[in-house]
Structures are given as structure tokens and as C-alpha cells.
């Protein structure tokens, strides 16, 4: 019998927890969300409470008790389970999340970067199943990236590898919550798409964009994609600029890692080829050796918003047991 584990995806605004039987990891035995508690003690205490609630609900349904916990955290997570820095979790620095949770829950706990968890899920059971060299990039509030190299997650010497969202792509560019300027995620995330659209709407002359809810200052990336789906030329032009920014970063990652496949996730990718086709078009001329090498396929992620929690559960099975 496959073990039953808990997978948790900690986001800047909410935490998603799932009890999963590793024999069928895409199916949640039970699932529960909570608002992300603010501050280190509240975060650890909140997660302990969520695991207890999930366990109680799962066993009431006849499930076996979970034997391990996996946690994905948006930030720099060391191989020792210590979260060094998490820009979207105020006050969470140098926090031994793994140690605190395993002491409180009396269970083995594995902690990793949230994008690493999503990457692991897509490679183990998602759209890149069975492939050994894959880049998984999630375009959300920021950009999360997880890389599988020769069949293993790329973690680096201390666990901090893969922070592609904070590669600087523009000198003196937009400020980033990480403290630097011009990071890739300021341009090529879902938030970046919204910023590009707001800039155009502010200048006027783009009636579709100017008519979006909250325009210009509260336009969302999803609203731009929805407008582009109707054929609005200004929304399509913004999407094309956005796709160029995505392409610049992806081309660098392809030069660096030579993946078989690049998987892209996040809310803006729900529009599928409307976004992915311009990305593919912009990536091609930016990769070294155009015309002399096959380019990796660029695919939409398949596990949606549960990828992080599913990956954390898989991580618990692979690392904590």
C-alpha cells in the first residue's frame, strides 16, 4: 500500500493543504485552504492546525493517517529545511520550518521551494512525465522556476538554485520586492502583464484596455488575456510585448540548461496557445544556434493551481520517508 501524506503549498495570500495517497497523487483525499497567517509563529502554528484538521477529516472518511508532510514555501529554502528569505511572507527569515513542524507534528517533514514542488509534480505525473531535463516556470504574482536536470531537481549546494525570476533583465528597471531592480518577474509574470497593460491604458488611445474594470491602475493580467481572446488589437499587442519578455528569459534558460521541454504554468497560461504561440515565436530567434539545433517544446502545465501541493506531497514521499 502506498503511503498517505500531506502536501502543503504556502502562498503569499493562502495556504492549500491536501491529504494524498501516493498511489493516486492527483486525487485529494481531502483538501483545505486557509489565509496565510502573518508572522513566523503564526505561520508555523497555522500549518500545524491545518495538518491536524486535514488528518481528522481524512481519517473520518476512512483514510489511513498521514505518515509524512511536504511543504512548499515561496522563497530561499535551504537543504536543511530552514527558510532563509521569503519576500512574500513578511517576517519569515531564517526560520527552521522543517524543524518546528516535525517537532510539533511528530512526523517527518520535507520543505522545499514552492516552484521546485510544482516542477517535481509536472515531471513525475504531469505534462513532462518521464522526461529527465525539464524547466518548469510558473507565471503568477512573481515567477517561480523549478529545473529538473538528469532526472533530479536542481537544488544547488545549499538549496537556493533556480531563482530565475530574479535574474536582472533590465538595468535600472522596475523595483522588485526582493530589493533589486529590473528582475525578469517584474516583466514576465502575471503581474508584469498587468503593468504593461496599465502603461498602455494610461497613455489612452486603447479603448478596449481603457474600458477594463479598474482601468488603468487596477487592470489584471487575466483581464488582458480575456480581452485578447475577443480579438482586441491593443490587448493582443500588449500580449505580444509580454510574450517577448517571457521569451527573453526562456531563451536564456534554454541556452543554460538545454531542456527537452519547457513547461509554463500560472493563471495567464489558461488561455493556452493564445499566449504560448507568441512566446514560441519570440523564443526561437533568441536561442543560441537557431537553425542548427532542435528547440525544446513549450507546453502548458497540466496540474493547475494544485501543482504545488501535489508536488509537496510527492516530495514528502521521496525525501521524508
What residues line the site for Zn ion (CB under 5 A)? 166, 176, 178, 180, 183
- Taking the least distance from each CB to Zn ion, the nearer of 196 and 287 is 196
Give the shortest CB-181-to-Zn ion separation in angstroms.
8
- Taking the least distance from each CB to Zn ion, the nearer of 249 and 296 is 249
- Taking the least distance from each CB to Zn ion, the nearer of 36 and 141 is 141
Give the shortest CB-141-to-Zn ion separation in angstroms.
12
Give the shortest CB-241-to-Zn ion separation in angstroms.
20
Helix (H) or strand (E) holding 314: helix 307-315
8-state DSSP, 272: T
- Taking the least distance from each CB to Zn ion, the nearer of 176 and 314 is 176
Give the shortest CB-180-to-Zn ion separation in angstroms.
5
Distance CA 173, CA 167 (A): 12
- Taking the least distance from each CB to Zn ion, the nearer of 55 and 191 is 191
Q: How far is CA 302 from CA 15, 266, 306, in A?
A: 20, 10, 10
Q: Give the distance, in angstroms, between the CA of residue 204 and the centroid of all CA atoms in the same chain.
A: 33
Task: State the chain's maximal CA–CA distance in angstroms.
Answer: 62
Q: How many CA atoms lie within 13 A of 129 on its CB side?
A: 5
Contact indicator for 32, 17 with CB cutoff of 8 Å = yes
Give the shortest CB-291-to-Zn ion separation in angstroms.
34
Task: Choose among 310, 301, 266: nearest CA to 18.
Answer: 310
Helix (H) or strand (E) holding 241: helix 233-257
Amino acid at each position: 500500500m502506498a503511503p498517505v501524506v500531506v502536501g502543503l503549498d504556502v502562498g503569499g495570500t493562502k495556504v492549500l493543504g491536501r491529504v494524498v495517497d501516493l498511489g493516486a497523487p492527483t486525487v485529494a483525499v481531502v483538501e483545505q485552504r486557509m489565509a496565510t497567517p502573518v508572522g513566523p509563529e503564526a505561520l508555523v502554528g497555522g500549518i500545524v492546525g491545518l495538518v491536524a484538521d486535514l488528518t481528522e477529516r481524512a481519517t473520518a472518511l476512512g483514510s489511513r493517517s498521514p505518515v509524512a508532510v511536504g511543504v512548499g514555501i515561496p522563497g530561499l529554502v535551504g537543504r536543511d529545511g530552514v527558510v532563509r528569505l521569503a519576500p512574500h511572507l513578511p517576517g519569515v527569515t531564517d526560520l527552521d520550518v522543517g524543524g518546528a513542524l516535525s517537532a510539533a507534528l511528530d512526523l517527518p517533514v520535507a520543505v522545499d521551494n514552492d516552484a521546485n514542488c510544482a516542477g517535481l509534480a509536472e515531471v513525475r505525473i504531469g505534462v513532462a512525465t518521464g522526461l529527465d531535463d525539464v524547466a518548469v516556470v510558473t507565471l503568477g504574482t512573481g515567477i517561480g522556476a523549478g529545473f529538473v536536470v538528469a532526472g533530479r531537481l536542481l537544488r544547488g549546494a545549499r538549496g537556493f538554485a533556480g531563482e530565475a525570476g530574479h535574474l536582472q533583465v533590465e538595468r535600472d528597471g522596475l523595483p522588485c520586492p526582493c530589493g533589486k531592480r529590473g528582475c525578469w518577474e517584474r516583466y514576465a509574470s502575471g503581474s508584469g502583464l498587468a503593468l504593461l497593460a496599465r502603461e498602455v491604458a494610461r497613455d489612452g488611445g486603447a479603448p478596449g484596455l481603457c474600458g477594463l474594470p479598474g482601468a488603468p491602475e487596477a487592470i489584471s493580467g487575466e483581464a488582458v488575456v480575456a480581452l485578447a481572446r475577443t480579438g482586441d488589437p491593443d490587448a493582443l499587442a500588449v500580449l505580444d510585448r509580454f510574450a517577448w519578455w517571457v521569451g527573453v528569459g526562456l531563451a536564456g534558460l534554454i541556452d543554460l540548461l538545454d531542456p527537452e521541454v519547457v513547461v509554463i504554468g500560472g493563471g495567464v497560461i489558461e488561455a493556452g496557445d493564445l499566449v504560448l504561440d507568441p512566446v514560441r515565436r519570440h523564443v526561437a530567434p533568441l536561442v543560441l544556434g537557431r537553425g542548427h539545433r532542435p528547440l525544446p517544446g513549450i507546453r502548458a502545465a497540466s496540474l493547475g493551481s494544485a501543482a504545488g501541493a501535489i508536488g509537496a506531497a510527492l516530495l514528502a514521499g521521496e525525501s521524508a520517508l
